[in-house]
Amino acid sequence: MAALLFFLWQVGATAFLVIPPRLAMFWLTAVAVMFLWCHAAPQGWTTARARATARVRPVPRGAWPWLAVLAPVMSAGALAMWMLLTSLHLAHDRPLPRQILEYGDRPGGTLVLVMLIAGLAPLTEEFAFRGWIQRPLERRFGPAWAIGVTAVLFALAHFDPGGVPIRVIGGVALGYTAWVTRSIWAGMLLHFAWNVGVLAFGGTFPDFEPATHPRVALPAALVLALSAAVFARAAARLRRASRRVPDLHLLSPALPRHPDDA
């Protein structure tokens, strides 16, 4: 059901390319509101158990410093991987499709792209994948399988074969972050940083093509390796910093404690 709803979100969101920018802002907002309403409607977020199931809970206080470290690392690593794969002719020449860049040149188009790529996309995609899909898989198969399967589905759902490796690895990072912090907002923050980095780079260097600059392969590989090392170290610290005593007074004594609150 989550995958189907996300597909409908993709179709609805992509329609903004044929809509004038002023109208597109209202259209994208309406589609996102409908998506989030469908996510909240089955149980709502009014009980502690429902919030735990959907991970609609605050980020642990101790996790914030490490998320601040991981956010730029996430963005730099994604761009470095794109440059490396593109220089090896294994990915697209541009981080953003040409039609997206052309839409940004229209009056008001830049604002629409910022709202979609930096705001609505991280919001809806995290609720769909790290919320609806990954959370039930964790209970059934454990976190490792759940994070991996969700990351693959996340990559395939974008219908972009050239971007599958980047989105799989990025999806694993987002899934791990949501799992250790037990908060959908933590993964959303890193997703926001990722998308903002791609948007800023694509807008600043719209004609840059790593395939025509093979020398960028080595620096990109070094940045990617450094980003992976920093992420691995900071992610371990993030897990320790996210451990906290559950708010037992919020849980009904008639219900067993949710596994996410362990």
Proportion of the chain in helix, strand, coil states, percent, rounded to 5: 80, 0, 20
Neighbour count for residue 44 (Cβ, 10 Å)? 10
Is the dihedral angle over the CA atoms 5, 11, 17, 23 positive or is it negative?
Answer: negative
- In this prediction, residue 2 carries a pLDDT of 63
Structure token pair of residue 146:
């759940």
Inter-residue contact 46 to 214 (CB < 8 Å): no
- In this prediction, residue 260 carries a pLDDT of 54
- In this prediction, residue 145 carries a pLDDT of 96
Q: Which residues of the chain have pLDDT under 70?
A: 1-6, 8-9, 12-13, 38-53, 92-95, 244-262
d(C-alpha 104, C-alpha 190), whole Å: 24
Q: What angle do CA 235, 239, 242 make, to 5 degrees?
A: 130
- In this prediction, residue 31 carries a pLDDT of 77
Cα–Cα distances in Å, from 100 out to 23, 104, 205?
16, 6, 14
Calculate Rg over the CA atoms of the chain: 19
Write down the domain spans for the chain: 60-244
Question: Where do runs of H (alpha helix) occur along 119-258?
Answer: 121-126, 134-141, 143-156, 164-181, 184-204, 217-241
DSSP state of 117: I
- In this prediction, residue 20 carries a pLDDT of 87
Cα–Cα distances in Å, from 125 out to 57, 75, 113, 116, 155?
17, 17, 16, 11, 11
d(C-alpha 56, C-alpha 50), whole Å: 8
Phi, psi dihedrals of residue 171, rounded to the nearest 5°: -65, -35
- In this prediction, residue 8 carries a pLDDT of 67
DSSP three-state, residue 57: coil
- In this prediction, residue 93 carries a pLDDT of 66
Q: What angle do CA 258, 147, 149 make, to 5 degrees?
A: 120
- In this prediction, residue 16 carries a pLDDT of 79
Structure token pair of residue 171:
């999806």
Q: Residues for the chain: how many in total?
A: 262
- In this prediction, residue 233 carries a pLDDT of 94
- In this prediction, residue 77 carries a pLDDT of 95
